[in-house]
Amino acid sequence: MKIALIGRYGEGEIVTGPERVARELFFEIKNKNIPVVFIEYFFSGYKSTSLIKKLFGKLCFENKTIQRLGIFPLIFTFLRNKYDIIHIINSQRFILFLLLIKKIISGKLVTTFHGLTHNEIPKDRHLTERYFIDSWVERFLVKKSDLIIFPSKILRDEFSKHYNISGKMYQIIPNGISKIFFNNDASFPPIEDSIKMIFYNGIASSINRGLTKLLGMLKNVKCKVELSVIGDRTNVDNINSNVEIIFVEPMHQTILIKFLEKKHFIIKSNTFDTFSMIVAECMSFGLIPIVNKNTGINVFIKNEFNGFVYSADSQYELSDLLNNIYSRKYDLFEISANVRKIYEQLNWTKISEQYLAAYNTVL
CATH number assigned to the domain comprising residue 7: 3.40.50.2000
Q: Are residues 88 and 37 in the same domain?
A: yes
Give the model's pLDDT for residue 205.
65
Q: How many domains, in total, are found in the chain?
A: 2
Question: Percent of the chain, pLDDT > 70?
Answer: 96
Range of the domain at 95: 3-176+347-360
Q: What is the pLDDT of residues 250-302, one digit of tens each?
A: 999 999 999 999 999 999 998 888 999 999 999 999 999 999 988 999 999 99
User: What whole-number distance in Å separates Cα of residue 327 and Cα of residue 41?
Assistant: 53
Tell me the DSSP string of 32-67. TT--EEEEEE--TTSTT--HHHHHH-EEEETTTTEE
Is pLDDT above 70 for 335? yes
Q: Are residues 126 and 246 in the same domain?
A: no
User: What whole-number distance in Å separates Cα of residue 49 and Cα of residue 94?
Assistant: 15
Is pLDDT above 60 for 126? no
Average pLDDT value over all residues in the chain: 91
β-sheet with 85-88: strand ranges across: 58-61, 66-69, 36-41, 3-6, 85-88, 108-112, 147-150, 170-172
Confidence tier at 141 by pLDDT (50, 70, 90): very high
Tell me the DSSP string of 147-206. EEEESSHHHHHHHHHHS--TTS-EEE----B-GGG--SSPPPPPP-SSEEEEEE--SS-S
What is the residue type of 16?
Answer: T
Q: Are residues 98 and 197 in the same domain?
A: no
Q: Are residues 319 and 282 in the same domain?
A: yes
Half-sphere exposure of 253 (CA within 13 A, CB side): 17
Q: Are residues 208 and 152 in the same domain?
A: no
Q: Are residues 163 and 31 in the same domain?
A: yes
**7-11, 45-49, 75-79, 192-196: least confident range:** 45-49
Confidence tier at 122 by pLDDT (50, 70, 90): low
- Nearest of 334, 19, 6, 2 to residue 175 by alpha carbon: 19
Give the model's pLDDT for residue 208.
81
User: What whole-number distance in Å separates Cα of residue 313 and Cα of residue 259?
Assistant: 32
Confidence tier at 242 by pLDDT (50, 70, 90): very high
Give the model's pLDDT for residue 128.
64
What is the residue type of 146?
Answer: D
Is pLDDT above 50 for 92? yes
Give the model's pLDDT for residue 234.
77
Question: In terms of C-beta density within 10 A (0-12 exposed, 13-18 middle, 19 or more buried), how is residue 157 classed?
Answer: exposed
Give the model's pLDDT for residue 300.
95
Q: Are residues 43 and 191 in the same domain?
A: no
**56-65, 98-107, 241-250: least confident range:** 98-107
Confidence tier at 125 by pLDDT (50, 70, 90): very low
Mean pLDDT of 52-60: 95
Alpha carbon distances (Å) from 356 to 56, 78, 125, 360 = 32, 21, 42, 7
Q: What is the pLDDT of residues 216-236, one digit of tens each?
A: 889 889 999 999 999 888 777
Confidence tier at 99 by pLDDT (50, 70, 90): confident
β-bridge mates for residue 291, sequence order: 309
66: left (phi over 0), alpha (psi -120 to 50) or beta: beta
Is pLDDT above 60 for 123? no
Is pLDDT above 80 for 353? yes
Give the model's pLDDT for residue 178.
93
Q: Are residues 208 and 100 in the same domain?
A: no
Give the model's pLDDT for residue 124.
52
Mean pLDDT of 209-222: 89
Long-range contacts of 143-146 (CB under 8 A, 24+ apart): 144/99, 144/102, 144/109, 145/88, 145/109, 145/110, 145/111, 146/108, 146/109, 146/110, 146/362
